[in-house]
Structure 1
Amino acid sequence: MDGQRDGEKNIVSIEDRIPKLKQARKKKANRRMISYLCIFFCLISIIVYLQSPLSRVKNISINGNSFLSEQEILRQSTLTNDTNIWSVHPKDIAKKLEKNLIVKRATVKRKFPRTVQINVTEHQMVGYVSEKNRYIPILDNGSILKNRAKSTNNGSAPTLEGFTETGYLEEMTKQLQKLPNEIFDLISEIHWAPTKKDESKIKLYMNDGNIVLGRINNFSKNMQIYPSIVAQLDPKKKGIVHIGVGAYFEEFSNKDK
């Protein structure tokens, strides 16, 4: 009799647990369904967002350009207001811009939600090449910008005359780049004046009325002494400053004047 009663108790306790198990399974299934629905709606929302105007570039900020116009930079970057902000790859765009001879460095940043910022550093202009009454800008990397020629030299950089050899012209631009601004601004014209013994000779016409004779090689280093030489001279006296080994001043004769 006791064994029969124990069996009945066990049967009753299992039957009591069945509704609880069913309820637990139902809750688990509901939670899983809700999770699947959340993921589904998130994916739908992302797709809708990517296809909508809200994901497109609205503002393109360009900084640091002088020679290049904003239109030129935009064209080379291939960015437009139809570009998806998520498809913008900053490093790839920077490489495109740096293929331009004028651009020394470029950085591109995405600024969410809808802005792209482009910063460019252009090569420095070190002079103008005179050609058929035109003044063509030349950069510190030796690039000659023929499509940006001007009718006059506005005095922002010296005119380079007679440089028919590309190698000497490129070396001259490198030397000019190294000059301090206070010396660079004193130079009006630079003439290539090669001789049979020395093809690197140059003649400079200075804004203060003096002439400088030197060589392209080590020009930026040798030119450092020019201000100190001029400072020791009578301002009324003008002449030729020889720089290089043993720098010295030679006053103009009446004939030279």
Structure 2
Amino acid sequence: MKKEKIVSIEDRIPKLKQARKKKANRRLVFYLSIFFFLIGIIVYLQSPLSHVKTIVVTGNSYYHEDEVIDLSGITKDTNIWTIKKEEIIQTLELNPLINTVTVETKLPWTVEIHLVEYERIGYIKKQNEYYPILSNGAVLSDSKKERLSGDAPLLVNFTQDNIFVDMAKELSELPKNILNIISEVHWTPTDKNKNVITLYMSDGFMVESSIRDFSEKMKVYPSIASQLEPESEGIIHIGVGAYFEPFNQEIKEEEIITTDGVE
């Protein structure tokens, strides 16, 4: 039989002491690391290192980046950990040109402000100058133009604010391909219906419709216009149904176009 090697207690004590010393050193290093980490955080929070150094603004077209930053209240002395996003969002969304806002903080010192502005849907003419109209009905008084650029329709004779706002909302919900071919929108109310409007289209046709549910009704326009001869002169009536009325002529049965089956 092999004899088992017997290790005396005297031989084991130095090894046990060494193991305990290593364990104690590791524990000391761990606690010191936590200590210096916390000290580093405190120094960072109390020093300019935690101040905002970069502010990024996206989605702005009506305001310069510096104007948006001024409105937000954020400065290069602002501590990134003290930024109150909800307050900034509420402040910016009070602006009539801004629809929605999101604010993001990215460590160590960057703030991003993302804007969604109200869309320009038309123009209004005042004293031979043209002012952009936004989808919420706001008029940009600081962005006047001497001539129309043709990128949105001209709204004419909208003398009542509530009617004007309703029309702006409907235009904002209109498909782009249809909005882009509307040259002018005239408010032409009657004694029986104050919502009547007359449109002048860039393809040469006229349209009579109603402000109520206008964005839905006008979706059939491309299909109707495609069935008419380019030289046709008259008005396309779009309401519950749709038909073409030639100028100075009686409506003939074959000239009546319904929207049945049109998507």
TM-score where L is the length of structure 2:
0.77
Query: For residue 66 of structure 1, what is the aligned residue in structure 2?
Result: 61
Query: For residue 210 of structure 2, what is the aligned residue in structure 1?
Result: 215
> Residue deviations 1:95-149, cap 9 Å, x none?
2111111111111011001111111111112111111112122211122222222
> Residue deviations 1:185-231, cap 9 Å, x none?
11011011112222211111111111111111121222122111110
Q: Runs of 5+ in structure 2 lacking a partner?
A: 1-23, 250-263
The Cα of 1:154 is off from its aligned counterpart by 1.2
What is the one-letter code of the residue matched to 1:149?
K
Distance 1:235 1:35 in 2: 85
Residue 117 (1) aligns with residue 117 (2): no
Query: For residue 142 of structure 1, what is the aligned residue in structure 2?
Result: 137
- Secondary structure of 2:142's aligned partner: helix
Alignment of 1:25-104 (within 5 A): 39=35, 45-104=40-99
Q: Cα RMSD between the aligned structures?
A: 2.5
Q: Percent identity?
A: 46
- Secondary structure of 2:241's aligned partner: coil
What is the one-letter code of the residue matched to 1:58?
K
Pairs aligned (count): 223
Residue 188 (1) aligns with residue 183 (2): yes
- Secondary structure of 2:111's aligned partner: strand
> Residue deviations 1:1-30, cap 9 Å, x none?
xxxxxxxxxxxxxxxxxxxxxxxxxxx9xx
What is the one-letter code of the residue matched to 1:184?
L
- Secondary structure of 2:74's aligned partner: coil
The Cα of 1:94 is off from its aligned counterpart by 1.4
TM-score where L is the length of structure 1:
0.78
Q: Runs of 5+ in structure 1 lacking a partner?
A: 1-27
Match of 2:237 among 232, 236, 242: 242
What is the one-letter code of the residue matched to 2:125?
S
Distance 2:243 2:176 in 1: 23
